[in-house]
Chain A
């Protein structure tokens, strides 16, 4: 099984999100970076698939040269190869991103392309589907259970499941296929020490994705939603606050 996982470098935002003065981007001067949790799970899933059925996991990202770090993080989890489609850091929209990924994976003979369901930052919910259409592959999104049966020709297939109104709906797809997954499909491992050492030494293939095509959705500015003006009313500290807390719960009508 040759599996490709597409990941995205996103800022590691904590208690508050800050913007650059021009309102065009998230201020990342104080933050680290990570890949989206959905994508980390996609890498874990791919590693498990190849542990079971053999083959290699390739991680691919479109991003600035610094995104090499996120690729190495994923190599440490067990991916074997890394491809960086290096941009100048300018954000590319979903149409442009899908076009660049499509061109890069087209002739590499992958049996399975995994994505996160949506990027944590821009949340466009469409890159995997666009890539699938461009490659003429079947596709399903939002997956939380995946069972792969490798095989040549018609024998290769997968069964993918997700929640639908409290029940499980499942899809059967022939390979090669495109699947996007959600966090919860597995619990990603911690990188092992040998894994980390290997990741540090591994080479990353750097490709030029070319210029970005024009995007029909044009961002004008970003803004942080207005926060509620007031701070919390402090009911007290420690167990001494419990009577006040019970009164509040009672006033809110949730005590039976």
Chain B
């Protein structure tokens, strides 16, 4: 049996979200003694073999759907479904038991199409998964963008899953009745175990550790000594042409101009957050000033965007952007679960709030109790003074 993971590529190789999904796929394959394969749309070199090898992947499929290029959700899904129905020259990998993808816009969309094409269920935003039996997975997935977890059993062959973008599983996210190592523990690429290490099928090892995947070479493989698993040379990439239906290509993406404006909210090291407590559009001047002093970005709550005080692309939360800064300074924000869903990836949260009983005060690492209109100007002044400015 084989776990198949869809990889989204970007100019440098696999996207980070896809590598995280591959890490979880590797954990599943590892614990159930299955092989692991990766598939992507594009040329065989689009994903560096080292990235695959580091996660115990020895099979890569570079898919080239017939027809014009570009992202086409249904065509991608169709090709993935065809591939999972029969791995070409699967190097002894066996039938596909699970198809996984990162829960990005594209990953979620492609797996939804795959579910619709096959009539099979899809489990979205998984944070942990393990095999419960043949054709049966036990998993934990996010609801409410991660404010709530659902333990569920998925009965389907193949199982279709997406992996939550922030699926660094919380300590308690592993499905019960099964103590397993975190699925994202990926060792460095150069951790190469002995080439002949074939663990028993039920051996529990860190997800990224390299498996001896049964008979490792297919009928067409070269007779010379097998390259050490875990090394780039151990990965075999095949180009697969998949026929898709004309209707599958009817919806296709065309990409337009690149636009970049300042520090991006999603990747900023510091985010200065403002909520209803800011009081109105004018109140954001001091937050902007603070953000620029700290080299960060301004983020806001939904109240702020629905009042039209700031544009929606600054919204942090379940229906906005998920942020992962070193420091999130949340000012005049109460800390509703839908807001926290977007900022729980922050390393440190500092709240500025007039109400010591606000939920954010319980959820933050540090708090200043007070009026932000007093605290923030004083903070700006202190930072300026420190920098030797006026």
Contact = CB atoms under 8 A, between A and B. Distances in A.
Interface in A101-118: 118
A122 interface: yes
B242 to A, nearest CB: 18
Interface string A1-22: 0000000000001111100000
A155 B163 CA distance: 39
Contacts of A95: 119, 121
Nearest to B109: A141
Contacts of A221: 150-151
Contacts of B153: 217-218, 220
B250 A254 contact: no
A63 interface: no
B301 interface: no
Given A14-B337, A234-B369, A254-B269, A169 B363 contact: no
Given A15-B359, A239-B374, A245-B350, A170 B10 contact: no
Most buried by A among B112, B170, B313: B112
B17 to A, nearest CB: 11
Interface stretch (A47-55, A80-88, A146-154, A181-189): A181-189
Interface in B368-388: 368-371, 374-375, 378-379, 382-383, 386-387
Interface stretch (B89-97, B140-148, B185-193, B216-224): B140-148
Interface residues of B, number: 103
A202 interface: no
Contact of A166 (B152, B259, B305, B358): B259
B116 A171 contact: no
B375 A238 contact: yes
A93 interface: yes
Chief secondary structure at chain B's binding surface: mixed
B124 A126 contact: yes
Contacts of A237: 368-370
Contact of A17 (B144, B156, B363, B365): B144
B82 interface: no
Given A174-B250, A221-B151, A252-B348, A164 B120 contact: no
A243 B351 CA distance: 15
Given A130-B115, A217-B123, A254-B326, A225 B302 contact: no
Nearest to A188: B306
Contacts of B147: 13, 17, 224-225
Contacts of B320: 183-184
Contacts of A72: none
A146 to B, nearest CB: 14
A219 B116 contact: no
Interface in A207-256: 215-228, 231-239, 241-243, 245-246, 248-249, 252-256
Contacts of B10: 165
B155 interface: yes
Nearest to A173: B251
Contacts of A141: 73, 105, 108-109, 112
A124 B122 contact: yes
A167 interface: yes
B186 to A, nearest CB: 22
Interface in B249-297: 250-260, 264, 269-270, 294-296
A246 B386 CA distance: 9
6 nearest A-B pairs in the assembled complex, by CB-CB distance: A15-B359, A184-B312, A216-B121, A133-B116, A129-B112, A239-B378
Interface of B: 10, 71, 73-74, 103, 105-106, 108-109, 111-113, 115-117, 119-125, 142-156, 162, 170-173, 250-260, 264, 269-270, 294-296, 302, 305-306, 308, 312-313, 315, 318-320, 326-327, 334-338, 347-351, 356, 358-359, 361-371, 374-375, 378-379, 382-383, 386-387
Interface of A: 13-17, 26, 36-38, 93-95, 118, 120-126, 128-130, 132-134, 138-142, 161-174, 182-184, 187-188, 215-228, 231-239, 241-243, 245-246, 248-249, 252-256
12 contacts: A15-B358, A38-B319, A121-B143, A122-B143, A188-B306, A226-B171, A232-B366, A237-B368, A237-B370, A242-B378, A246-B383, A255-B294
